[in-house]
Chains A and B, each alone.
Chain A
């Protein structure tokens, strides 16, 4: 895999695992409320963290800013899950809500370029636009 950038391999792993959750989440909310589903999702996260804390060397002594950024990450991500469920349960059509939410990387890109001063090539910028369009199209279920 020497011709692939390292980050791409790990991004692909995340993509596959999160992609599978698209199915398992659906199987869960077919049977229980999104709230109960969220709680058990979070319990699994706690289980993973306990296993990690016991088996992998941890680096707890980090700068406070880094600690709070990482904690805020969990809160923001979980909050997004709850708000997306609320959107779906407030009368929004699933394919429209999910397509709309697929725009979230645009916010990341905007922050990355303005706040974190990341630079993009023309090809990468084009790739981002295509990725967003692809995510929207993938959310459109046949009627």
Chain B
């Protein structure tokens, strides 16, 4: 999965055209809700596909589905420039390698009988790992809500595995 939510707002400033309403909703809310739907459907679709193919082949077909989006994003003027292109690109590439490897494991969990309704909520707890890494390596501070979230995530995984 392209999990891929930066933990804080990206460095680019929003421009005026990016703040208009869509369908009566603030732009950020509209796109958040759209994300919920497309990622939610992705979980179900992945399980359905896994009834007919192995995880590796699924990952190859997944990549085919990404191609039109690459072409779409390609035209953005924002692909030029950047504070440190070499570092940014290297981290992005590593993100893709890790994300793709995660995908294969996700698909394989379905192939060997994991339910969409269980595997997807478990894997959606990946911020558990992000938070632990952010504390350990980026020396970020963790709030009370996040501490509570860490404990709750472990309890949830336990319940879902029963």
| CB within 8 Å of A: which B62-98 residues | 62-70, 73-74, 76, 78-85, 87-89, 91-98
- Which residues of A lie under 8 Å from residue B47 when comparing CB positions? 112, 116
A73 x B133 contact (CB < 8 A): no
Chain A residue, CB-CB nearest to B43: A108
A23 x B9 contact (CB < 8 A): no
CA distance A26 to B128 in the complex (A): 15
Which label, helix, strand, loop or mixed, suits the secondary structure of the A interface? helix
B109 x A94 contact (CB < 8 A): no
B35 x A52 contact (CB < 8 A): no
Partner of A94, one of B8, B73, B98: B8
A74 x B74 contact (CB < 8 A): no
CA distance A100 to B10 in the complex (A): 18
- Which residues of A lie under 8 Å from residue B26 when comparing CB positions? 90-92
- Which residues of B lie under 8 Å from residue A101 when comparing CB positions? 5, 32, 35-36, 39
Partner of B45, one of A6, A15, A69: A69
B39 x A35 contact (CB < 8 A): no
